[in-house]
Amino acid sequence: MRVKKIAIMILFFLLFSIFIPHSSSAKMDSTENSMTVSAESAVLMEQESGRVLFEKNAHEKKRIASITKIMTAILAVESGKLNEMVTVSGRAFGTEGSSLYLKQGQKMKLKDLVYGLMLRSGNDAAVAIAEHVGGSLEGFVLLMNQKAQEIGMTNTSFTNPHGLDNTPNHYSTAYDMALLTRYAMNNATYAEIAGTKNHKASNPNEAWDYSWNNKNKMLKLYEYSTGGKTGFTKLARRTLVSTATKDDLSLIAVTLNAGDDWNDHMSLFDYGFKDYDLTEIMKAGKVKKIKNSFYKNKVVILEPFQYPLTNEEKDQLHIEIKLIKPKDDWSRKENVPTTVGKAYIMLGDDVIGTRNIHYGLDVKTKRTSFLESWTNTFLMILGLKEHG
């Protein structure tokens, strides 16, 4: 009889454990721990906010192989020279590894070289692009490292435009490469090139034209894939950057030294799309629930704030509004500063973003520039990095 009672108690305990509500943090930890990837380093980042949804050794410096070419491509796109003709030098012609089989003295439009760079990973194209955009290969490497600093790639060093293992000082991290891809994907031309499955380019030396199919199999394997870049060297092993968009959620996956990168990326994307929604927390327009009579119905934010959240996290959101105390001479509107406060968007105890609060402006009359918006977001990311 006693054994029967004990058995009933154990059964009751097991059922209770199954149906009892779990805290949101416990559920998030369980989800994260259940995610495994073959890669030595990996990151899943959300495009809009830069929030890291999954990471594994994300800040560990590693060789990156041909995903280096993301930087080469975005610098070429931003150069404003895409329609210029590039003459292939002997140095470009002699570059080892994957190739477009360009000939010395051959001329090709810079835009076509960028397609060949991204789709077929042409190392000869990388050097030709570098020499044309940077004036020399060495000059272009300086531009690469300057851009890396601008973006916030603090654990990255470039020594060439293609990713070959020619020096030990060419490296990056999964996190830094996600930052780079996030930056590059904000450029419509780059995004179009990175997501192209096939590109044709004229060939002045033969009776046939070039036709390049993209090596990035994610464009075929994964329904929501939008682009990316493959990489491999004997020292770096397999590296891969890929992007995907489902509904309004855009994700970036990076894996370094992965034995099963295609499946790694599909698993990462499936996890992100299943567990996260891009949530609009603050709309552009009048800030509501302002009690101060001086500010009520007179203050706005100019940019909406969106952030990827799990359903559990949505219950932890709150917004803190801080406004400058009105001064006596503010009875004259010209004395009121344009920016009169700040909204702090909080997830639990953490600040996940801010928005300036403006007085007496119509949302349509002023928008922050892309650079201001990018800077604010970048500063926010640095803050998030401090919290892990």
Domain coordinates of the chain in residue numbers?
41-275, 278-386
Task: Identify the pLDDT of residue 363.
Answer: 54
Cα 361 to the center of its chain, rounded Å: 32
Label residue 360 by pLDDT band (50, 70, 90): confident
Label residue 361 by pLDDT band (50, 70, 90): confident
Task: Identify the pLDDT of residue 205.
Answer: 78
- From the list 362, 361, 342, 345, the residue with the least C-alpha distance to 353 is 345
CATH code that applies to domain 278-386: 2.30.140.30
**pLDDT cut 70: percent of the chain above it:** 84
- pLDDT tens-place string over residues 291-317: 999 999 999 999 999 999 999 999 999
Higher-confidence residue of 176 and 6: namely 176
Enumerate the H helices of the chain as residue ranges.
2-19, 24-34, 69-78, 90-93, 110-120, 123-134, 137-151, 174-185, 188-194, 218-221, 261-275, 311-314, 370-386
- pLDDT tens-place string over residues 82-128: 999 999 999 999 999 999 999 999 999 999 999 999 999 999 999 99
Label residue 289 by pLDDT band (50, 70, 90): confident
The helix-helix angle for 69-78 and 137-151 (nearest 10°) equals 90
Assign a CATH topology to domain 41-275: Beta-lactamase (3.40.710)
Q: Nearest-5° angle of CA 187, CA 189, CA 193?
A: 120
Task: Identify the pLDDT of residue 206.
Answer: 81
- pLDDT tens-place string over residues 140-159: 999 999 999 999 999 999 99
Contact criterion met (CB below 8 Å) for 304 and 280: yes
User: Is 69 noted as a catalytic residue in this protein?
Assistant: yes
SS3 state of residue 178? helix
Label residue 204 by pLDDT band (50, 70, 90): confident
**pLDDT(133) > 50:** yes
Task: Identify the pLDDT of residue 18.
Answer: 32
Task: Identify the pLDDT of residue 331.
Answer: 87
**pLDDT(385) > 90:** no
- From the list 338, 346, 357, the residue with the least C-alpha distance to 296 is 357
User: Is 66 noted as a catalytic residue in this protein?
Assistant: yes
Task: Identify the pLDDT of residue 284.
Answer: 95
SS3 state of residue 24? helix
Which of 41, 49, 66, 98 does the annotation list as catalytic? 66
Which of 41, 121, 172, 250 does the annotation list as catalytic? 121
- For 199, residues 6+ apart whose C-beta sits below 8 A from its C-beta are 112, 115, 116, 119, 211, 212
Average model confidence (pLDDT) across the chain: 88
User: Is 121 noted as a catalytic residue in this protein?
Assistant: yes
SS3 state of residue 99? coil
Task: Identify the pLDDT of residue 24.
Answer: 30
Furthest-apart CA atoms within the chain: distance in Å: 94
pTM across the whole model: 0.83
Label residue 14 by pLDDT band (50, 70, 90): very low
**pLDDT(8) > 80:** no
- From the list 316, 334, 323, the residue with the least C-alpha distance to 290 is 323
- pLDDT tens-place string over residues 318-327: 999 999 999 9
Task: Identify the pLDDT of residue 232.
Answer: 98
User: If residue 104 lies in a helix (H) or strand (E), which one and from where to where?
Assistant: none
**pLDDT(17) > 60:** no
Higher-confidence residue of 73 and 385: namely 73
Strand 249-256, strand 277-282: pairing = unpaired
Which of 69, 111, 147, 298 does the annotation list as catalytic? 69
- From the list 155, 169, 99, the residue with the least C-alpha distance to 127 is 99
Label residue 194 by pLDDT band (50, 70, 90): very high
Higher-confidence residue of 367 and 223: namely 223
Confirm whether 41-275 and 278-386 share one CATH topology.
Answer: no
- pLDDT tens-place string over residues 112-122: 999 999 999 99
**pLDDT(221) > 70:** yes
- pLDDT tens-place string over residues 182-192: 999 999 999 99
